[in-house]
Amino acid sequence: MLKFFKSIYLSNRLYWTIFLLVLLYLWAWYWPILLPIAEIALWALPALAVVDLILLWSRGGKGVVAHREVMDKMSNGDMNDVHVILENRYPFPARLVVLDELPVQFQARDLRFPVLLMPFKSKRLTYRVRPVRRGEYIFGRLNVYAQSPLGLIERRYKFEQEQRVPVYPSFIQMRKFELLAATNRLNEAGIKKIRRIGSNLEFDQIKEYVAGDDPRTVNWKATARRSRLMVNTYQDEKSQPVYSLIDMGRVMRMPFEEMSLLDYSINASLVISNIAMLKYDKAGVITFSHKVHQVLPAERRGLQLQKILELLFGSKTGYLESDYERLYATIRQRITQRSLLLLFTNFESLSGMQRQMKYLRRIAKDHLLVVIFFENTELRSFLDEKPKTTQEIYYKTVAEKFTYEKKLIVRELEKYGIHTIYTAPQNLSVNTINKYLELKARGLI
């Protein structure tokens, strides 16, 4: 019985009807002719409410059936589809209002979907959510409020459908670039077509000369033995190690469009690892802050991408300053082959970068190092505005100083032969791929 009363709600239509009935009685004091009408309405309203109750409970607890469909895992920073399937088992059109209990991370309590559903029909609702943090998200109950055509009473249906969904680094973005790379359409995402200006080739085989082969590749010894013109063939050197070095120190906690710089770096690391493996290189990951957290050696095996995804899923920023000395010691010990190292970090000042310069130079001595750090786009938009007060002029001067320091960081790094990517967070993946393809084209890896 308690459950029955808990599922009954009075609709807005009933409240308005009662309000109009009270007005009718007030008017009846001045126009007695309205009094019979008011008395009829007074008796009819409870009767209609009872009829409404009978209609809504005529199918027991199965007048409306609903369930939610969510992906096994969601992609961080992307729009993910959530589906709600509704079925009306009443013999009359039902007005439904769907309230889905979203995970607490979304901070949304007003997600409502009004639906008019014909008798014995079903409907599929779709809405989209954008998680901005990795981790486990818990969807709560699915609540459906049903009204009959009378619309005086609402019946609440509760579907206990708690679902735990992990939010992983952006595999949607990864698949997007993977598809573009497979169809040779990377330029559609802003990836530049770079002409190969160097060569990094390894011997493949000796074959018979055909028209169009480079005469410089003629193998004269094989030609003498076979009495036919033979040439050497080469292929691009493959299986070069590509490591993503991800700084998880306090500098990576800075937010941009609700996501931290660490999350942008993790998403880009997943994308570039996949692209590198598609280009027949090996991909690995090192995460560090005040200590080196995890080292995943570069491989190109079938499960390597899944290992990278699982490693990045649990990575979190800390509150301590990153230790580049330990990073250098780990690289020297664990990475013995010359590799491309993509260092995702953020230097906010020239002095902060100079404190780490000796370790960066040591790393760059043995490997091809690319330092990737971020442009403060909010600062850029502030600089584009015209100052109106003395205070705004002062703020703009300080902002220009910070922006100029970022440019000095780029020059200082490049002075020692260290490649850089200075990018806005939203362009991180595209610019990282461009740099990787540029270095491949120049034969530096």
Return the CATH number at 331: 3.40.50.410
User: Are residues 432 and 285 part of one domain?
Assistant: yes
What angle, 0 to 180 degrees and rounded to 10, lies between the N-to-C axes of helices 171-182 and 428-441? Answer: 40
What pLDDT shows up at residue 198?
47
Residues in the chain: 445
Return the CATH number at 4: 2.60.40.10
User: 273 or 181, which is more confident?
Assistant: 273
Number of domain units in the chain: 3
User: Are residues 380 and 360 part of one domain?
Assistant: yes
User: Are residues 153 and 207 part of one domain?
Assistant: no
142-147 vs 282-288, strand pairing mode: unpaired
Distance (Å, whole) CA 46 – CA 63: 23
Which residue among 236, 263, 291 closes a domain? 236
What's the whole-number mean pLDDT along residues 246-260?
A: 89
Which residue among 236, 251, 285 closes a domain? 236
**DSSP bridge partners of 372:** 344, 421
User: 219 or 381, which is more confident?
Assistant: 219
Supply angle C-alpha 412, 419, 366, rounded to 5.
Answer: 100
User: Are residues 101 and 61 part of one domain?
Assistant: yes
Among the ranges given (23-27, 159-163, 279-283, 433-437), the one the predictor scored with the smallest mean pLDDT: 23-27
User: Are residues 217 and 181 part of one domain?
Assistant: no
How far is CA 225 from each of CA 216, 220, 322, rounded to the nearest angstrom? 18, 9, 61
Model pTM?
0.80
User: Are residues 297 and 354 part of one domain?
Assistant: yes
Are 310 and 279 in contact by the 8 Å Cβ rule? The answer is no
Query: Which structural domain range is residue 370 located in?
Result: 171-195+238-441
User: Are residues 190 and 134 part of one domain?
Assistant: no
How many H-runs (helices) and E-runs (strands) does the chain carry? Answer: 13, 21
112-117 vs 282-288, strand pairing mode: unpaired
What pLDDT shows up at residue 202?
55
User: Are residues 249 and 113 part of one domain?
Assistant: no
What's the whole-number mean pLDDT along residues 233-246?
A: 79
What pLDDT shows up at residue 287?
96
What's the whole-number mean pLDDT along residues 203-221?
A: 79
User: Are residues 250 and 224 part of one domain?
Assistant: no
User: Are residues 242 and 232 part of one domain?
Assistant: no
User: Are residues 77 and 187 part of one domain?
Assistant: no
**What pLDDT, in 10s, does the model give residues 109-138?**
778 899 999 999 999 999 999 999 999 999
Are 159 and 141 in contact by the 8 Å Cβ rule? The answer is yes
Confidence class for position 197, pLDDT limits 50, 70, 90: very low
- The per-residue pLDDT of the chain, averaged, comes to 86
Q: 436 Cβ partners below 8 Å, 6+ apart?
A: 242, 272, 275, 276, 340, 342
What pLDDT shows up at residue 236?
53
User: 203 or 282, which is more confident?
Assistant: 282
Are 70 and 163 in contact by the 8 Å Cβ rule? The answer is yes
User: Are residues 366 and 249 part of one domain?
Assistant: yes
**What pLDDT, in 10s, does the model give residues 367-392?**
999 999 998 877 777 777 777 788 87
**CA 30, chain centre distance (Å):** 66
